[in-house]
A and B are shown apart, each in its own frame.
Chain A
Amino acid sequence: MSIIVTARDVTRDYQRGRTRVRALRGATVEVRRGDFLAVTGPSGSGKSTLLHLLGGVDVATSGEVSFLGEDLGRLSVEARAALRLREVGLVFQRFHLLPMLTAIENVELPLAAARVPRRERRDRAAAVLERVGLADRLRHRPSQLSGGQCQRVAIARALANDPALVLADEPTGELDRATSRRVLTLFQELNASGTTLVVATHDLELAAGATRRIEVVDGSTRP
């Protein structure tokens, strides 16, 4: 399987007031096409930071992150944004859907940013919402949807541009047990159909459902 992203010995420091905090220290990970990788670890261990580095949302203080052969540390902010738009789908714990837009309009957002023609993006957004089981909720706004449905819209938004990699940060953190299971099932179905997933989670059941798992402890990765 081809490699999508690798992080080698990366560190990430943040300045918090006068204190310099090291969120990651020498983390190393490799994600191959077709992976369903669970990143686990206690709160504050650096899981989210690792995800942000893998997706090019953030850049490493030292070490190298290579995405489809490109060193993300050498790319400008705009170039990384363009790469994320094309190749990375992001799912957040709190969904972060635009409340004034309908489900289909939220899914269209990255397609519109990628300048996909209006008719095509409407068709693609509808298809991806159907894929996550929300064909009958296209015109609903987030306030009219349950938490699980909102997260499925967010997953559909992440899949809209057919990215090489989907990164999900605590995707079941705001959901009840039954809904979390449905999200896991959806991830497994997506992975089975070829989607590469990296999921940062506390949820042991979700982590157990992944095909591979690494643990982040005190900023370092353990297989």
Chain B
Amino acid sequence: MRTVLTVAGVAVSTAMLADMLMLGGGIQQSFGELLESRGYELRVSPKGTLPFDTEATIPGWGTLRDSVEGVVGVGRVAPVLAMSVSAELEGGEAGGSGDVTRTLGLGLDAGNRSLYEVVEGDGPGVGEVLVDARLAEALEVGPGSRMRLGIASEFGTWGRSASVRVSGTGDFVFATARDMPVAMPLADLQALSGKEDEVSFAMIRVGADADPEAVRAGIAGVADRVEVVTLAGISDKLDERLSYFRQVAVILGSVSLFVAALLIGTITAVSVSERLGVIAAVRAIGVARRRVVGDLAAESVVLATVGGGIGIGLAVVVAGYLETILAGLPGLPVAVRFFVLRPESLATAYGLVIVSGGVAGLVPAMRATGREVTELLHREEP
């Protein structure tokens, strides 16, 4: 029974350790993969910010764009204007609630579909908008519906508004649980917001043979009032911001490993103390000490291997459950995963538990077999 309980304890500790290892690097990896999947190697954003960080914009974009496009190695430039917008279903056959919804509006160059995948209908043309599929479902709109868009703030809708046709629905790759964006032509959103020559950030695709770092330096040389970062740079900045997660993961992971070792060490110590007579007898027979120690440590390794194996399976299940809870965390894209199932994380957790279990078992085994055989025999024999 106590062996079963120990195996269960080791399994839980291993699961926690594996989950913490997955959590420790999961977001960075997942976010990095998401960024790379868009096919743009550089980002240009207002000084001191990252894309989607703030509502700050880059003024004088027309001139800056010309400068950026003139840098050697720059392939394609894809500007994005991101503004809070209000969306309201216009009356008509489509019906709807008529409620005003505040959401994120994305202004993109014609043909730039890097921030969304079309689910139904088509991308937005002039006077059109592509609506997040979740928002479309909530507002009961679809291709052909008409909506009224305005610029939203904390205090309500202000300025101009425009009637637009819904061209289609889509999944936005950087959408958070709360933000269900709409995409429209850049010029339309600029006109609506009155920021005719401004963008929030731009994505830069470098040429086939160009070095992203060299291109980044080139752009930084001609545009000193913006932040130019590579994907690696964004990952590094994200890494800094998520250091809290990593620290928590390291601490909890270490505690889990310690608990697993403690469990195995304790049961080995108890088991060894109950078998001192047999250990003494086996050594008296002439079995070498290292062999006895090896056999006892092997029992610990078996415990760690079985418990750890179960724990790895448990880790996968728990990670899936925790992922569903954390997916709703505000401010992070829904597509970003907290727990990335990486074989190396699972292998590391499993290996650490087995090694620490073996070492934890080794200590009582060494202590027991290090005692004088005659002393143990005197104790164990009446």
Residues on A close to B: CB < 8 A?
Answer: 48-49, 52, 55, 57-58, 77-78, 81-86, 88, 90, 92-94, 96-99, 109-110, 113, 157-158, 169-170, 173
- B284-A84 in contact (CB<8A): yes
Chain B, residues 269-283, CB within 8 Å of chain A (1/0): the string is 000000001101111
* Residue on A nearest B291 in the bound complex, by CB: A113
Kindly state the separation between the CA atoms of A94 and B381 in the bound complex, as whole angstroms: 7
Which of B147-155, B346-354, B370-378 contacts its partner? B370-378
Name the residue in B277, B281, B285, B374 with the highest tally of chain A Cβ atoms < 10 Å from its Cβ.
B285
Residues on B close to A: CB < 8 A?
Answer: 277-278, 280-289, 291, 372-374, 377-378, 380-382
Q: Offer 9 A-B interface pairs, CB within 8 angstroms, sorted by A.
A: A58-B373, A82-B286, A82-B288, A93-B382, A96-B380, A109-B285, A110-B287, A157-B285, A170-B381
Kindly state the separation between the CA atoms of A52 and B278 in the bound complex, as whole angstroms: 16
Kindly state the separation between the CA atoms of A81 and B289 in the bound complex, as whole angstroms: 9
- B284-A57 in contact (CB<8A): yes
- B286-A96 in contact (CB<8A): no
- A96-B291 in contact (CB<8A): no
- A109-B287 in contact (CB<8A): yes
Find chain B residues with CB under 8 A from A85 CB. Answer: 285-287
* Residue on B nearest A160 in the bound complex, by CB: B285
Kindly state the separation between the CA atoms of A57 and B380 in the bound complex, as whole angstroms: 15
Kindly state the separation between the CA atoms of A98 and B287 in the bound complex, as whole angstroms: 13
- A48-B381 in contact (CB<8A): yes
Find chain A residues with CB under 8 A from B285 CB. Answer: 84-85, 90, 109-110, 113, 157-158
* Residue on B nearest A89 in the bound complex, by CB: B285
Smallest CB–CB gap between A18 and chain B, Å?
A: 17
Question: How many residue pairs between the two chains, A and B, have CB atoms under 8 Å in the bound complex?
Answer: 73
Find chain B residues with CB under 8 A from A84 CB. Answer: 284-286
Find chain A residues with CB under 8 A from B291 CB. Answer: 113
Kindly state the separation between the CA atoms of A131 and B278 in the bound complex, as whole angstroms: 24
* Residue on B nearest A161 in the bound complex, by CB: B286
- B374-A96 in contact (CB<8A): no
Find chain B residues with CB under 8 A from A48 CB. Answer: 377-378, 381
* Contact residue among B286, B374, B381 (Cβ-Cβ distance under 8 Å from A83): B286
- A173-B373 in contact (CB<8A): no
Smallest CB–CB gap between B261 and chain A, Å?
A: 24
Find chain A residues with CB under 8 A from B284 CB. Answer: 52, 55, 57, 84, 90, 92
Find chain A residues with CB under 8 A from B287 CB. Answer: 81, 85, 109-110, 113
- A-B contacts besides A52-B377, A98-B278, A113-B285, 9 pairs, CB < 8 Å: A57-B374, A57-B377, A77-B289, A81-B287, A92-B281, A92-B377, A94-B381, A96-B278, A169-B381
- A81-B283 in contact (CB<8A): yes
Smallest CB–CB gap between B58 and chain A, Å?
A: 74
Smallest CB–CB gap between B31 and chain A, Å?
A: 51
Known contacts A96-B281, A98-B278; decide if A86 and B381 are in contact (CB<8 Å): no
Find chain A residues with CB under 8 A from B289 CB. Answer: 77, 81
- B286-A81 in contact (CB<8A): yes
Kindly state the separation between the CA atoms of A173 and B277 in the bound complex, as whole angstroms: 16
* Residue on B nearest A59 in the bound complex, by CB: B374
Smallest CB–CB gap between A155 and chain B, Å?
A: 13
* Residue on A nearest B299 in the bound complex, by CB: A100
Known contacts A86-B286, A173-B382; decide if A57 and B373 are in contact (CB<8 Å): yes
Find chain A residues with CB under 8 A from B288 CB. Answer: 78, 81-82, 113
Find chain B residues with CB under 8 A from A110 CB. Answer: 285-287
- A94-B277 in contact (CB<8A): yes
Kindly state the separation between the CA atoms of A157 and B381 in the bound complex, as whole angstroms: 18
- B374-A58 in contact (CB<8A): yes
Kindly state the separation between the CA atoms of A158 and B382 in the bound complex, as whole angstroms: 20
Smallest CB–CB gap between B316 and chain A, Å?
A: 33
Closest A-B pairs by Cβ, 10 of them? A85-B286, A96-B281, A84-B286, A113-B287, A58-B374, A81-B286, A57-B284, A96-B278, A52-B374, A93-B381
- B282-A109 in contact (CB<8A): yes
